[in-house]
Each structure stands twice: as structure tokens, then as C-alpha cells.
Amino acid sequence: MEATATGGRAIEAWSLFADDATYFLNDNYDSFHNLIESLTLYGMISGLKLNKSKCTVLRGVCEENGGIQLTNIDSFVKAIKCSWVKRYLDNTNTSKWKLFYQKILKKYGDSLLFECNISNTILHEIANIFLSDVLSAWSDVTHKLETKTSSKTILWNNKDITSNNKTFFYKDWFERSIKYVDQLYEFRIKDFYSFDDICYIYGIPSNNFLNYYTLIKSIPIHIKSEINTNNAPCTQTKFVENILGRKNKTNKILYTLQIKNPTENSKIQNKWQVLFGENELNWKHIFTMPYKATVESTLRNFQYKYFHIIIATNKYLFKCKLSNSNLCDFCSENIETIEHLFWECKHIQPIWNQLASFLEQQQLNVKLSFLNITNL
């Protein structure tokens, strides 16, 4: 965490030695040195220690796709969320907090859910925001990496197998080791087992006919035909095992895996696009500009925060209950958004006007607008 400043106002976010903390540093030695010193001092006072073997450094390089290889700040955040899953699934970890989440996930087969093709319905159903957020990141990341050809499709919580928009999870079937679609499939006759066969093979009670019928009826044809054509093991499950098998540095792996894949526009880029409507934004230009325009790391840092909309405006601070008002500090008339604070505000406009007349004096014909101060 770092102290963020806007318009001379500083918000000290020097939180405690959190269990997990992410620090964004300037690209100079001092910045790193100061952090280590502060952490060491804090450690001396509190008696806590920094576990260096658990730390990951992701070095930001001047990059065309977002300043510090983080168009990609999305990917980074997702990686952190995903590494929580590893801790959750780690059986040697017996922390009490797990019980709380186990209770919520029980309905979906607990840790089974992390192997599933999770539907939005489930994400909405899970009222715990943190958990729902983690699951969403997890399914995004794992879905991207998953190759489409897996014959071992998981039956449960699979968004491709639904009835009335609801996915399936029959706890007692799962406990009888039924997990994959192909377990219900009779390869010799190239069709699903009859209900009687299922009862016989898995010991399912005979009053389950309706459950059987609804489930079989809901398995789409493409999944059925995939069973016939492919016998590769389920990649999703393999992926989960792979991640769990790693000793450390999960963050880094999950992050690198994501950025290896071609990236679409990040959430932030889409946000800016909304502001600019039809006007096309040249991201390569926008992201490299701060590095060409200055060598001053404070300015680069500021530009980075600006692009990624992580400047603490009153709109944001008010939402977090860190400010008494969401109105602009300068005019107190409008909501202090990034567009307002850096362009619209009547107290800010004179600065731009001065710049415009300065440019005019220099015979530089640039028409200033909110659009080109960002896209300059």
C-alpha cells in the first residue's frame, strides 16, 4: 500500500503488516530501499518479520501495453485472487477461516466448485462478495487457459449443463463418486446408461428417476459427441492439480500465464473508451508517452495512476467513507470525478487556457480538449 496524493491532500494508507500486501514502487532504488527500511522498522516494533521467500517481485518495464506490463493490472489482481484458492484447497492448512467459506461452498460440493465451469448464476447466488469475486477471477483465469478439447467434462455446476437456467449438483451422486459426464456414458452402445444401470453401478436409490431424467436430458449434444471423439483427461482438473503442486510463487505463475495469452482491452481501457465514445484511442501511444515525455519517476507514476484511474478522487473516497463529500474540492459544485478534476472544473479550466495561449504564442496550433489532454 502506498500514500496517494491528489491536490495537496494526502491519504495515508500505511496499513499494518497485512497478511498479503501489494506495494507499487517507483522505478528507482530509493523507493525500494525506503520500503524495505519501513518494513524492517515496523517489524522491529511489532516483532513481525517479512518472509522474503514468500515475496514476489514483478518488475515493471516501460511497455507499450500499460506502462508497467500491467494492462494487465487486471491480470495481476486476478492472480492474487486466484492464489487465495490455492490456500483454500491446501489440505495441510487448517485455519479457522476456511470453515466459514466451506459452509458457503458446501452446497456446490465445496472444493469441487473450483474444477467446474462456473455459471454466473452461481456467482450471483454466492452473497459473500469476496468469495464471489475470487470465484469469478478463478473461472476467468482457468477458462482462458483451458483447451476446449476435454472429454472429461464435469457434470456438476457446469454452466453448459442446465435446466431452467440452473446448474446441477446432486450431493449424494457426487458422494457416490459420480463427477464426470462420461461416467454416465456407455461407450459400447454410444449412449447414456439407462436409469436401472446407473442404480446398479453406483448404488443410486430407485426414487431418483426424475433427477436422472432431468440431468441426462440437460446434457447438450455437443458434450455427448465430445465423449466419443476425445479421451484426453480433463485439462481443468489437471490445471488445478498443477497449481496446487507448486510450492510457491503462485502469484507469478498465474499472472504470467494470463499475460502470455493475447489480451483484450482491459477494464480500464474500456472505461476510458466509454468517456471518449466514438473517438478511437491509441493505447500504444498513450502508454508509451509518459516514458518519452519525462524521466521523472514521480510524473511517470502520476500518469500511470491517471490512466489506471487509481487517483483518489472524492467520488472514490466518499464511496470508501474516507471523505465527507463526493463534491469537487475546488468548486464544491460537481462530483469530483477524474474528468471533472483534470478538465471540467471551472478552477482548472484557466490552467488549460493559459497553456493554450502559451502554445499559441509559440505558434503551435493545438486545440485543447479533454480528449486530447488524455490522448496527447
Cell of 89: 484447497
d(CA 136, CA 107): 17
Which grid cell is 111? 472444493
Q: Which is nearer to Zn ion, 288 or 334 (CB)?
A: 334
Stretch of 78-86, 130-138, 283-291, 343-351 lying at the interface with Zn ion (CB under 5 A): 343-351
Q: Which three cell numbers stand for residue 147?
A: 483447451
d(CA 244, CA 287) in angstroms, rounded, equals: 35
Task: Give min distance, CB of 331 to Zn ion, in A.
Answer: 3
Q: Compare residues 199 and 331 and give the one whose CB is closer to Zn ion.
A: 331
Is residue 190 classed as helix, strand or coil in its secondary structure? coil
**Cβ 343 to Zn ion, closest distance in Å?**
10
CB of 320 to Zn ion, least distance (A): 20
Cα separation of 98 and 94, whole Å? 7
**Contacting range for Zn ion; rule: CB under 5 A; set: 78-86, 162-170, 200-208, 323-331:** 323-331
Task: Tell the smallest beta-carbon distance from residue 352 to Zn ion (Å).
Answer: 13
Cβ-based nearer residue to Zn ion, 302 or 330: 330
**CB-based contact 260:134 (threshold 8 Å):** no
Binding span for Zn ion by CB under 5 A among 9-17, 95-103, 265-273, 331-339: 331-339
Indicate the pairing of strand 191-192 with strand 185-186.
antiparallel
Task: Measure the CA–CA gap between 104 and 310, rounded to whole angstroms.
Answer: 32
Q: Is residue 328 involved in binding Zn ion (CB under 5 A)?
A: yes
The region of 168-176, 237-245, 312-320, 337-345 touching Zn ion under the rule CB under 5 A is 337-345
Backbone angles phi, psi at 318, to 5 degrees: -65, -40
Q: Which of residues 109-128 bind Zn ion (CB under 5 A)?
A: none
Q: Are 123 and 132 in contact (CB under 8 A)?
A: yes
Site mask for Zn ion (CB under 5 A), range 274-313, x = bound: ----------------------------------------
Q: What is the DSSP letter of 340?
A: I
Q: Which of residues 76-95 bind Zn ion (CB under 5 A)?
A: none
State how far the Cα of 340 lies from the Cα of 316, in Å rounded to an integer. 13
Residue 274 beta carbon to Zn ion: minimum distance, rounded to whole angstroms = 21
Report the residue from 330, 342, 352, 370 that binds Zn ion according to the rule CB under 5 A.
Answer: 330
Grid coordinates given for 261:
495469452
- For residues 171 and 207, give the distance between their C-alpha atoms in angstroms, rounded to a whole number: 15
What residues are paired with 138 via a beta bridge?
none
Part in contact with Zn ion (CB under 5 A); list of ranges 76-84, 115-123, 214-222, 322-330: 322-330
Q: Which is nearest to 165 in space by CA: 210, 113, 218, 213? A: 218
Which three cell numbers mark 248? 510457491
For the bound state, the minimum distance from the C-beta of residue 353 to Zn ion, rounded and expressed in Å, comes to 15
Can you read off the three cell numbers belonging to residue 355?
Answer: 497553456
Total residues interacting with Zn ion, rule: CB under 5 A: 4
Q: Which CB atom, from 82 or from 328, has the smaller least distance to Zn ion?
A: 328
Stretch that binds Zn ion, among 34-42, 94-102, 303-311, 345-353 (CB under 5 A): 345-353
CB of 7: closest distance to Zn ion in angstroms? 10
**Residues in touch with Zn ion (CB under 5 A):** 328, 330-331, 345
